[in-house]
Amino acid sequence: MLSAKGSSVPLLASMVLFRIAHHGAELVNAIVACDGIEPLIKILVTGAPASKQMAAAIIAAIAMVRAEPHLRASWSESSDEL
Amino acid sequence: MMSDCLRHQVPEHRSAIVSAEALYPLIELLVSNELGTPEAAARALTHLARADGEQQTASPASPASPGASPTAPRTASFRRTSSEISAEISAEILLGEHGVLDEEGAAWRKSAIDNASGVKWLVHMLDGSNLSKGKHLLKPPAVGGWPSLRVGIVSCHETEEIFPGSNVDFGAKIGMQEQAAVRAAAQDF
């Protein structure tokens, strides 16, 4: 959705991701694990003004946390249960 | 989908962001006239400039605020202005936590931000001249200039209050420029 054509869909996606990114390190790491950085940076360059702001805010949230080994282990366990 | 994503190893985020060439677009956003965009970009640069060991605790809740997310937005009372954010990031770039350039990764990122004119525009953010592309024109209130913000810092005054609360609500912003200047002066060029 971040890479969708037009301005409204990437904006909507970035707004949702912004909310997600501010609900814990696990979700931030999930965004990164899903290759979310690249489309966010593409929005920084070519997105609509509002999308750019959202993308910058998401990148700030991503840069704030770092994956911890024990979290990776817990994700593996929890994802096995999903 | 989620479980598939979480199975992957998560790389160091700051390095991944910089490797994906995010610095230039973020620095370009420092001069955006979109309300809030320079602040968001400066905040991102702040975190990118930090040493790899400096980050929010990844625990889902902190003892001070049970249940709160480590990345949860602060309340309105903690909302920070452009000059505060730019002062912080300028200090982060100029100095490490202990006054010296620290880890290789962080030092490289700081250098990259500086080389891409990031510090220049962050300094311009101190007085809002980033919005006029470096020309020292104060931001008009309509786009969030200081007069419209009615800003000031509690317990950071240089002058006597004219009346209770006047320094906070109506006084000029005092302190952030000085803080940035002191940190810059401490750096050996």
Tell me: the pLDDT tens digits for B64-81?
A: 333 334 444 443 334 466
Per-residue burial over B60-96, b if 16 or more Cβ lie within 10 Å, else e, is eeeeeeeeebbbeeeeeeeebbbbbbbbbbbbbbbbb
Name the amino acid, one letter, at A81.
Answer: E
Q: How many CA atoms lie within 13 A of A2 on its CB side?
A: 23
Q: Does A3 reside within a domain?
A: no
Host domain of residue A77: 8-81
ipTM at complex level: 0.72
CA of A53: which chain B residue's CA is closest?
B37
Its pTM stands at 0.59
Q: Does A55 reside within a domain?
A: yes
Do residues B128 and B149 lie in contact, with contact meaning Cβ atoms separated by under 8 Å? no
Backbone φ and ψ of B62, nearest 5°: -105, 150
Segments in B30-165 forming alpha helices (H): 37-49, 82-94, 104-115, 118-127, 146-149
Tell me: the pLDDT tens digits for B75-112?
A: 333 446 666 666 666 666 655 544 444 445 777 888 88
First to last CA, chain A: 23
Nearest CA-CA distance, residue B80 and chain A, Å: 14
Domain count for chain A: 1
Compute the distance between CA of residue A22 and CA of residue B43 in angstroms, rounded to an integer: 14
Q: Does A27 reside within a domain?
A: yes
User: Using CB atoms, which residue from A25, A63, A72 is nearest to B17?
Assistant: A63
Nearest CA-CA distance, residue A73 and chain B, Å: 9
| Chain B contact present for A25, CB below 8 A | yes
Q: Does A28 reside within a domain?
A: yes
- Which segment of B7-11, B44-48, B102-106 scores lowest on mean pLDDT? B7-11
Q: Does A75 reside within a domain?
A: yes
Do residues B13 and A71 lie in contact, with contact meaning Cβ atoms separated by under 8 Å? no
Q: Which DSSP letter does residue B36 get?
A: T
User: Using CB atoms, which residue from A38, A45, A78 is nearest to B25?
Assistant: A45
Q: Does A2 reside within a domain?
A: no
Do residues A38 and B83 lie in contact, with contact meaning Cβ atoms separated by under 8 Å? no
